[in-house]
Amino acid sequence: MIKISFLGDILCQLPFLKAAQKRGNDFYTAFEGLQPLLQDSDYVVANLETPIAGEEAGYTNDIYSFNTPAEFLDALKRLKIDLYLTANNHCLDRGTKGLKSTLRELDNRQMAHTGTGPTRYHLTKLKDTTIAFLNYTACVNEDKWNLYGHELKDNDLNLLIDIDKYLAYRTEKRKQNIPLYTLRKKLGRAIPKSLQLKLKSALGIKQHPTYDNEPLDAVKGIQLDQVQQNIAQAKSEADLVILLPHCGGQFNTKPGKLSQEIFNTLFNFGADAVIGNHPHTIQETGIHDGKPYAYSLGNVSFSPSYPFLVKESKPEVGIIFHLFIEDKKIVKTTSSMFKSTEGLDHYPILKTIDEQFIGPKN
C-alpha cells in the first residue's frame, strides 16, 4: 500500500522569522517536531506560501507581504517533503523576479515543485502507480496582481479562474454593500496595514472570516478550459490525478459557494482527489462519489501572535491528510492533527493531537 501525505500552508510570518533570526537563522528547530508524523509516508506534498526572493528584495517586514531567507528552504529540505506547491496568493509578493528566484532556489536544492514555472503538472511513480499533481491558484494578492499580473507569461502561473474578473466582481459587490467604499479604499491605501489592524483592535473591531461566495459563472474564463485540458493530458500519462487548488475564504471554517463549485468542477473534469489550501483553518473533508476531498488543511506554521487572524477559527491547528493507494486506486484516507505554539526555542512546537479514520475502507 502507498501512503501519500498532504500538508497545509507553510508560512513564515514576521514573528516566526524574528524567532528564527534570534536563533541564528535556525528554522529547522521550528519544524523538527513534524518529522515523526511523516516518517512512514511514501510521498509528502506541502504548500510553500512565501517567496524566496533574496535579501535585496527585502525580507518580510509587514503583515500581508512575504519574503523569506533561503535558509528556510534548507530547513525544509531536512524534512520528508517531496513536492512543494508554489501557486498561491503570495507567490507574487516580490514580483515576477521573486517568483522566478523562488523556483531557482528550489531547483538548486533539487526540491521538486509545481504550480508556477514551465510545467503544467508534476508526475511521479510510486511503486507501480503513476500519479499526477496539479496545483492552481484562484487568487493573487490584489495589489501584487495589479502590479505584476500582466507581466506573466502563460506558463508562469497556473491560474484556476479569471483573476481580473474575480477582483472586478468583488470590487462591484463592495461598492454595493459597503457605505463610503471610495473613502475607505483611499484610507486603506494611506494607512499602513499594521496600523489599520491596531486601530481596529483599539476600537474593538474584530477581524472576521472572509467568504468566497462569488458564483463561478461570474469569474470563470479560459483558465478553466486550460485546467480541463491539463487534467485530460495528465490522465493520459498517470493512473491517478490529484488536484491541489489554492482557494477559499480566509479563517472561514466552512467552504464558500465558489470553493464548492470549483471542487465539483474539478471532479467533473476527472480529478481522482481534490485537496485545497488557503483559508488558514481546517475545513470539511469527505468523499465525493467515491473520491476524497479536503477543502482546507489549515496551517503548518502559523504564529498565534500574528495580528491578522480570527482566533475562533483556530488557525494554529492543522491536519496532515493521508491518502492510501492500493491496486492503483485510493482505498482509504486518514488525518493527523497538530498544533503550533510559540516560543523562542521551539517555534512552533508541532504535536500530534489525534489521528482519525475518515474515508472508505474499500
Would you call 287 exposed, middle or buried from its count of C-beta atoms within 10 A (0-12, 13-18, 19+)? middle
Is pLDDT of 203 > 80? no
Quickly tell me which residue has 534570534 as its cell.
22
Segments forming the whole domain that contains residue 81: 2-357
CA dist 272 and 290 (Å) reads: 9
- Residue 226 belongs to a domain: yes
Given this model, what pLDDT does residue 184 score? Answer: 55
- Residue 311 belongs to a domain: yes
Given this model, what pLDDT does residue 62 score? Answer: 83
Q: Are strands 285-288 and 291-294 parallel, antiparallel or unpaired?
A: antiparallel
Rounded alpha-carbon distances, angstroms, from residue 28 to 41, 50, 78, 353: 20, 16, 8, 21
Given this model, what pLDDT does residue 361 score? Answer: 42
CA dist 103 and 86 (Å) reads: 9
Given this model, what pLDDT does residue 104 score? Answer: 98
Domain count, the chain: 1
Given this model, what pLDDT does residue 349 score? Answer: 45
- Residue 362 belongs to a domain: no
**What average pLDDT does the segment 328-339 reach?**
90
Answer whether 155's CB lies under 8 Å from 120's CB.
yes
333 beta partners: 323
Q: What CATH number should be reported for the domain holding residue 228? A: 3.60.21.10
Rounded alpha-carbon distances, angstroms, from residue 239 to 5, 68, 235, 275, 348: 18, 36, 7, 17, 37
Least confident interval from 111-115, 153-157, 174-178, 181-185: 181-185
pTM: 0.90
Summarize pLDDT for 227-276 with one digit per residue, the tens.
Answer: 999 999 999 999 999 999 999 999 999 999 999 999 999 999 999 999 99
Cβ-based neighbours of 255, under 8 Å, separated by 6 or more? 212, 248, 263, 279, 283, 284, 295, 296
Least confident interval from 29-33, 120-124, 201-205: 201-205
Is pLDDT of 204 > 80? no
